[in-house]
Amino acid sequence: MKKTICLTAFSLLMIAGKVEAQNSKVGLPIYKNPKAPIEERVKDLLSKMTIEEKAGQLNQISGRFLTGPSTEDSSEKKKVQDLKKGKIGSFLNIIGAKKTEEMQKVAVEQTRLGIPLLFAFDVIHGFKTIFPIPLAEACSWDLKQAEKNASIAAREAAAAGLHWTFAPMCDITNDPRWGRIMEGVGEDPYYGSLISAARVRGFQGNLNDTAHILACIKHYAVYGAVEEGREYNLVDISRVMLWNKYLPPYKAAVDAGAATLMNSFNVFEGVPTSGSKYLVTDVLKNKWGFKGFLVSDWGAFGEMINHGYAADKKDATQKALNAGSMMDMESRIVINFLPELVKEGRVSMATVDAAVWPILYYKFKLGLFENPYKFSNEEREKKELFTDANIAEARKAGDASIVLLKNDNVVLPIRKNSKVALIGYYANKNADVLDRWPGQGDTAKVVNLYNGLTNKLGSSLVGFTDGYKDDGTTSDSLLQQALETANNADVILVNIGISGKLAGECQSLANPIIPDGQVQLIKALQKTGKPIVALVSAGRPLILTQINDLVSSILYCWHLGTETGNCIADVVVGDYNPSAKTVVSFPYSVGQIPVYYNHFNTGRPNTNHGDGGFTSRFRDIPNEPLYPFGFGLSYTTFKYDSLRISNQNITKKDKLHVKVNVSNTGKMDGEEVVQLYIWDKTASIIRPVKELKGFKKILLKAGETKEVEFTLTDKELSFYDADGNTRLEAGAFKVFVGANSRDVLEKDFTLQ
Ligand code: GLC
C-alpha cells in the first residue's frame, strides 16, 4: 500500500513538473500560470501592459444605473467599445450572473491581455435580503450578528456575479442632520472600530470561495464631520481629533484585512482626500501598512477642480496619483490624462505600477484569471438569494436593533388579544420602508408594520388609518379618522418619523424633528385618555422632545429592511424583549447639535451647583441630550452594584481588573449591554470626560445576578497625539461601569 502511495506522489510530481515544462515550452506567460505565485504573476502581467492598459485598470465606470451625478456619454455601446480597447478595469452597478458574464466575456475574450473585470455594488446592509440599516444594526451591540449579516449579504451578492462591495462605511458622526448617519457606526470610535472589523470579516471571509467579496473601507476620511451636517460640505478638524475620534474605525478595518478603501468627497486640512498624500500615503500606506487598493468616491478625482485644488482634469489626475490614490470612479480623467502625464514625466511609471499592482493582485486572488465567470452562476443565483434562512436572520437582526427609549407604566409589551389602533401614514406603505441603499431589495416583498402586526395579532385586532400625510402634515378629517380608530382600540400604536427615502446620501435635514402634523396627531389622540405607544421609523436620531412627554412608550425602530413589520411586532407583543442601546445621542434640540457623550469638560463645566452664571451651558435647554449614547431599556429591569477594581494604583505594565454585579430585578429574562468607560483626568492633550473602553452583552434570567469583569490595559488607557503616536501618561483616572454613558457607578485609580 505504502509503495503505491509513494508512486502516486512521485507520478504527481512528474506531472506537475511536466506541466511546468510544457508551460514554459509553449511560452505560456507566467501570469497565465495558476501555479506561479501571485506576486510573480502580477509582475509578469505588469511588464506586458502598455500605459494605456494600466490606465484602463485604474478606470471604473458605472453600469446600468447611476449612484452619482451622470457624466459624459454613458451609453452601453460606448462602454463596450472602451472595454474592448482595455480602457475599463472594473464596473460598478452591473448586477446579475447573466449580465456580469456578458461583460466579462468582452474583457476576457476581446481584449489584448484578457484581464478580467471586477464588478462592484453598494451592498450596504444586504443584497436581496435587506437587513437593518447599519446604524440600527450597531445598536444591537452584537458583533457576531453584524458579521453574520455581512456574510449573508456577501453570499447573495457573490451569487449575483459581484466581487466587491462598497462597505463597510466607517465614518464616525455626531450629526443627525446628515442623512448618511444611517450608514455608519455611530458616535464612538472604540465601538465603531469593533463593528467595522466585524463587517469586514463578514464580507470577506478568507476570500477563497465564491461566497465572499472584497470589502471597501469608506469614506476615507472624516466624511462624517461635514459642517452643518450638510452633504459634501467642508470638513475642518484638528489632527488630535482626527487620530482620536475619526481614524480608529478605518484603522480597525485595515487591520481586519479589508482589500479596498474609498477616498471620500471632503477635504482634510484644505486638501481633497483623493489628493491628500498625508492621509493616503503617510498614514494609510506607510503608518498602517495598507496593501490593498483605493477607489475614489464617485467623481471625487475630478471634483478636486470644484474644490479649487486642481486647475483642470490633467492636474487633478496628477495630484490624485502622486498622492497615492489609485482607481478613478466615474471621473473618467485618469484614463484620458495618465498616459500623457507619464510621457511628460509628471507621474512616474513606478507610481502607476504601484497603483495597478493591488488591483491585479486581487483579481488573481479571487481566481478570476483561471475562471473569470466563477461568480456569474445563474444556478447559484437562484439558490442563494432571499432564502428563508436569510430572511430569518434579517428578522433576528431587526429584533435586536429596536431601542426601547421609554415605557412608562409598562404599557409594553401588549397582550396578544389587545385591540390595537395602528395610526401612521408610513405603517402600510412599502415604498417608505427601505432607505436609499436598498441593494437589490424588493420593495414589494418588504413586511411593513401593518403586515407585521396583522401577522402577529390577526387583522381583526388591528385598526389602521393614516393620521397624517406623506409630507408630515395632517388635517381635521385625518385627525377625526384617527380618533375614531383609537376609540375602538385598547392601545394606540402611532407610527411616526420620516420616510426611508430621507435616509442616505444627499438627504441632509436642517430640522431632523418629528413633523408638526405628527405632533398634532399625538396631541389629538391624547384626548382618548388611552396609552399611546410611539413607534418611530427613521434613519437618524430625530429630535423627540416635542412628543416625549405626550406618549407612554417610545420604540425607536429605525429602518429594519425586509422584515421590518415582523420585527416591530415581535417587540410590541414581547416575543422579543428589547435589548438594543443607541450608539448615537438623541439631541434635546437642533440647537444642541452636535451633542455627544465623549465630550470635554471645558474650563467652566456646568456643575449645576448654584454658581449660576459663568459655566458652560445653555439658558434655554439642558446640556445633556434627551437620550444619551448607550441608552436603551428592557421589559425587565437591571440593577448594578458593588463596582470594584483590583488596585487603586497601577503601573503602566499592570492590568486593572474591574468587576461589577448586575442583577435582573424584573419578571422577564432579558439581555443587558454592560458598558465600561474611562476618564483620563489629566493629560498632555485633554481627554473626554468619558470614553467607551469595553462592553459585554449578557443574558440574565429573571432574578439572576452575574458578576461581569473587564480588564483595562495600557492599550485602553492610551490616546493619540497629533502625529498619531500613542501616549500613555501617569495620573488620575476614573473608571465607570453602567447601563449607558450616563447611569454609571464609578471608581478612581491612579496610573503611576
Ligand atoms: C456614492 C457614495 C458612495 C458609493 C458610491 C458608488 O456617491 O458616496 O458611498 O459607494 O457613490 O455608488
* Residue 168 near residue 326, CB atoms below 8 Å: no
Containing 22, the helix (H) or strand (E) segment is: helix 2-26
Prediction pTM value: 0.95
Would the CB of 505 count as within 6 Å of ligand 1?
yes
Q: How far is the CA of 297 from the centre of ligand 1 (A)?
A: 6
Q: What is the DSSP string of 281-348?
A: IIIIIIIT---SEEEESTTTTTTHHHHTS-SSHHHHHHHHHHHT--BEES---HHHHHHHHHHTTSS-
Annotated active-site residue 297? The verdict is: yes
> Minimal CA–CA distance to 230: which of 183, 276, 194, 177?
177
- Grid cell at residue 593: 447639535
Q: Return d(Cα 452, Cα 566) in angstroms, integer.
A: 4
DSSP conformation class of 562: G
183 Cβ below 6 A of ligand 1: no
Q: What stretch of H or E contains 483?
A: helix 476-487
CA of 298 to the centre of ligand 1 (A): 6
Cβ atoms of 688 and 679 within 8 Å: the answer is: yes
* Ramachandran bin of 564, using left for φ above 0, alpha for ψ from -120 to 50, beta for the remaining angles: alpha
**Mean pLDDT, 10 residues at a time, the chain of 752 residues:** 46 50 63 96 98 98 82 82 96 97 97 98 98 98 98 98 98 98 98 98 97 98 98 98 98 98 98 98 98 98 98 98 98 98 98 98 98 96 97 98 95 96 97 95 98 98 98 97 97 98 97 98 97 98 98 98 98 98 98 98 81 84 97 98 97 97 98 98 98 98 98 98 98 98 98 97
Q: Distance (Å, rounded) from C-alpha 547 to C-alpha 534? A: 9
With beta carbons less than 8 A apart as the criterion, state whether 687 and 677 touch. no
- Residue 332's region, left for phi above 0, alpha for psi from -120 to 50, else beta, is left
Q: Count the neighbouring beta carbons within 10 Å of the beta carbon of residue 75.
A: 8
Query: Given this model, what pLDDT does residue 65 score?
Result: 75
- What Rg do the C-alpha atoms of the chain give, in angstroms? 28
Residue nearest to atom 11 of ligand 1 (CA): 298
C-alpha cell at 125: 446592509
Q: Is 156 in the pocket of ligand 1 (CB under 6 A)?
A: no
Question: Which helix (DSSP H) or strand (DSSP E) does residue 11 occupy?
Answer: helix 2-26
User: How many Å is the maximal CA-CA distance in the chain?
Assistant: 94
Please calculate the CA angle 389-393-397 and round it to the nearest 5 degrees: 170
The CB of 218 under 6 Å from ligand 1? The reply is yes
The atom of ligand 1 lying closest to the CA of 216 is 10
List strand residue ranges (DSSP E) for 233-281, in order: 260-263, 267-268, 271-272
List Cβ neighbours of 12 (8 Å cut-off, separation of 6 or more): none
| Catalytic hit among 175, 297, 432, 680 | 297
Take atom 10 of ligand 1 and give the residue whose Cα is closest. 166
Distance CA 163, CA 366 (A): 8
Q: Is 451 exposed, middle or buried (0-12, 13-18, 19+ CB in 10 A)?
A: buried
According to DSSP, the residues that pair with 533 across neighbouring strands are: 493, 553
Beta strands (DSSP E) in 498-558 are: 532-537, 553-556
Cα–Cα distance for residue pair 184/592, rounded to 1 Å: 21
CA dist 65 and 70 (Å) reads 9
Element (H, E) at 699: strand 691-700
SS3 120: strand
- Amino acid (one-letter) located at 430: N
Give the whole-angstrom CA distance, residue 356 versus residue 350. Answer: 10
Interhelix angle 449-457/564-572, rounded to 10 degrees, is 50
* DSSP class per residue in 122-170: --SSBSSSBPPPHHHHHTT--HHHHHHHHHHHHHHHHTTT--EE---B-
CA 218 – ligand 1 centroid, Å: 9
Q: Which atom of ligand 1 is nearest to the CA of 218?
A: 9
Q: Residues 10, 16, 21, 25: is their CA dihedral positive or negative?
A: positive
Decide: 220 in ligand 1 pocket, CB within 6 A.
no
Question: What pLDDT was estimated at residue 612?
Answer: 60
Ligand 1 centroid distance, CA of 272 (Å):
16
**Residue 123 CB less than 6 A away from ligand 1:** no
What are the angstrom distances between the C-alpha of 136 and each of 53, 402, 528? 43, 7, 32
3-class secondary-structure state, position 535: strand
Domains and CATH numbers, the chain: 33-87+99-116+292-386 (3.20.20.300), 389-592 (3.40.50.1700), 638-751 (2.60.40.10)
Distance from C-alpha of 637 to C-alpha of 739, rounded to nearest angstrom: 11
Centre of ligand 1 to C-alpha 361, Å, is: 23
Instruction: Tell me the CA–centroid distance for residue 586 and ligand 1, in Å.
Output: 27
CA distance 211 to 151: 8
Q: Under a CB-based contact definition with an 8 Å cutoff, are residues 23 and 41 in contact? A: no
User: DSSP letter at 256?
Assistant: T
pLDDT at 607: 76
For 528, the grid coordinates are: 382618548
Cα–Cα distances in Å, from 37 out to 34, 341, 364, 367, 368?
8, 32, 10, 12, 15
Which mutation among 64, 182, 295, 297 tests ligand 1's pocket best, with the greatest number of atoms within 8 A of CB? 297
Please report, as a single letter, which amino acid is at residue 222: V
Ligand 1 contact via 93 beta carbon (within 6 Å): no
Kindly report whether the peptide bond that precedes residue 594 is cis, defined as omega within 30 degrees of 0.
yes
Please report the DSSP string for 623-692 in residue order. SS-SB-TT--B-SS-EEEEEEEES-SEE-TT--EEEEEEEEE-SSS-EEEEEEEEEEE-S-SS---S-EE
**Beta-carbon contacts of residue 371 (< 8 Å; ≥ 6 apart):** none
Length of the chain: 752
